[in-house]
Amino acid sequence: MAMTLAGRDRRRALALLSPAYLWLTVAVFLPLSAMAFFSFLSDVPFGGKDWHATLDNYRAFFQTATYATLLWKSLKLGLIVTVVSVVVGFPCAYVLAKIVKGRSREALFLLVILPFWSNSLVRIFSWAIVLRGNGVLDRAVNAILPWDVKLNLMFSPTAIVIGLVHSYLPYVILTSYLALQAIDDSLIEAARSLGARRRTILWRLILPLAAPGILAGAVLIFVPVVGSFMEPRLLGGRVGTYYGTVIEDQFVAVFNWPLGAALSFILLAVVLAILAAASPILRRART
């Protein structure tokens, strides 16, 4: 009797899960397999071009230092953007979760999520208007300060970081918010009644308990930023060549899909390796 029930349960679970798995197969697994297939070809397999299987695309990564240099540059960018986002986003999430209540919290939430509702290109172009030499920021600063300042942040690594932080900040705010919400206020009160100072409460209580949320947000930011191409291209100008822009070039400008696919898979492998290396920390944070 128990056996048949378990069997029926399994069948029901399968029926309920199948749409999700079907979706994953069609939208994730098939395109990824196609790209994996491309990455081992000598040329794109359509339009009557000659092609054969090869490892040259992966070899190309190691033949020059260019790709490795760019990958390192992109990883550093990912790290900087993640750290800045956490430093800016965590206090924001704390205020939302523990300090403001009711209506004003809803309003603040709306402001946090608002960037998600606008097209990312629109966001980048508005930053271009703000950061450009003699742009909005330049004029505002010059209107306040008595001496002449030339900021001109446009087309610099700083501009790229600003654009990316703005795009990805909501992730870390939302995940940290959820983690902070789950912390029972009475724990904090207990700590305070036992004489813990504010800094001790933050370091020994709140941060460890909120760590899973912060880390989840950090991972959500780090992975896409390493492969980002639009922000570096539009805000970085001359210095905006990163690993992601080179991959984009392979697909859009020079039509070397196989090399583009191989570079993407190398990026995927590196990112997975980093996450695997960080997984002990991630696991400890969860318990």
Partner 1 sequence: MNRLLLTSALVLAANGALADEIRVLNWQGYGTDLDWAIAAYTEKTGNTVVHEYFTSEQEMLTKLRTNPGAYDVVLINSAYTAQAKDEGLIDPIDSSMIQNFADLDPSLTGNEDLNPGGALHGVPWTWGLTSIAVNTNDFAEMPTSLSVLWDPQWKGRVSIRDDGLEAVQFAAMALGQNINQITDLDAIKAKLTELLPQMTTFWSSENDWNQFMSAGDFAVATYWSGSASRSQAKGLPIAFVVPEEGAIGWLDGLSIPSTSTHKEAAAAFIDWMVDPAFYVKWDAEGAPVSSNTKALAELPETSFNRKLVEDPATVARVQFMKPVSDADRETYLKLWQDLKAAQ
Shortest distance (Å) from residue 245 CB to partner 1? 9
- What's the rounded Cα separation, in Å, for the pair 227 and 168? 13
* Whole-angstrom distance, CA of residue 191 vs CA of residue 194: 5
Listed ranges 6-14, 113-121, 167-175, 249-257: which one lies at the site for partner 1 (CB under 8 A): 249-257
Cα–Cα distances in angstroms (integers) from residue 224 to residues 68, 138, 159, in the given order? 18, 30, 17
Residue 182-221 contact track with partner 1, rule CB under 8 A, x = bound:
----------------------------------------
Could you give the CA distance from residue 145 to residue 65 in angstroms, rounded to a whole number? Answer: 45
Complex with partner 1: residue 116 or 255, whichever CB lies closer: 255
Q: Does 150 bind partner 1 (CB under 8 A)?
A: no
**Which one, 7 or 133, has the nearer CB to partner 1?**
133
Q: Are 179 and 232 in contact (CB under 8 A)?
A: no
Helix (H), strand (E), coil (C) string for 196-245? CCHHHHHHHHHHHHHHHHHHHHHHHHHHHHHCCCHHHHHHHHHHCCCHHH
Q: Which two tokens stand for residue 32?
A: 């990824």
Q: Cα separation of 137 and 152, whole Å?
A: 9
User: Least separation, in Å, of the C-beta of 70 and partner 1?
Assistant: 5
Judged by CB under 8 A, the number of residues near partner 1 is 27
Q: Which stretch binds partner 1 (CB under 8 A): 32-40, 86-94, 129-137, 262-270?
A: 129-137
Write the binding mask 49 to 68 for partner 1: x where contact by CB under 8 A, - elsewhere. x--------------x-x--
Other CB atoms closer than 10 Å to residue 218's CB: what's the count? 23
Kindly tell me which residue out of 103, 253, 277, 280 binds partner 1, with binding defined by CB under 8 A.
253
**Contact residues: partner 1, CB under 8 A:** 44, 46-49, 64, 66, 69-70, 73, 132-134, 154-155, 236-241, 246, 249, 252-255
